[in-house]
Amino acid sequence: MIGYLKGNVLSSDGKNILIDVGGVGYEVTVSADTATQCMPGSLVEIYTYLHVREDEMSLYGFSDQKTLMFFKRLLTVSGVGPKMGIELLSLPLHRLKQAIAEEDKSFLTSIKGVGDKLASRIILELKNKVTIDFTPEPSQTAVINMDVVLALEKLGYDRNKVVQLLKEMKEPLQNEEEMIKYCLRHL
pLDDT digits (tens, 9 = 90+) for 134-161: 444 444 444 467 778 778 888 888 777 7
DSSP-based three-state secondary structure for 67? helix
HSE-up (13 A, CA, CB side) for residue 162: 23
- Confidence (pLDDT) at 21: 94
pLDDT digits (tens, 9 = 90+) for 120-136: 999 999 988 776 544 44
Q: What is the 3-state secondary structure (H, E, C) of 93-150?
A: HHHHHHHHHCCCHHHHHCCCCCCHHHHHHHHHHHHHHCCCCCCCCCCCCCCCCHHHHH
pTM of the model: 0.67
Residue ranges per structural domain of the chain: 4-62, 66-129, 146-186
- Confidence (pLDDT) at 142: 41
- Mean pLDDT of the 42-65 span: 92
176 phi and psi, to 5 degrees?
Answer: -65, -40
Q: 4-62, superfamily in CATH?
A: Nucleic acid-binding proteins (2.40.50.140)
pLDDT digits (tens, 9 = 90+) for 59-73: 999 988 989 999 999
Yes or no: is domain 66-129 CATH 1.10.150.20?
Answer: yes
Pick 182 or 143 by higher pLDDT: 182
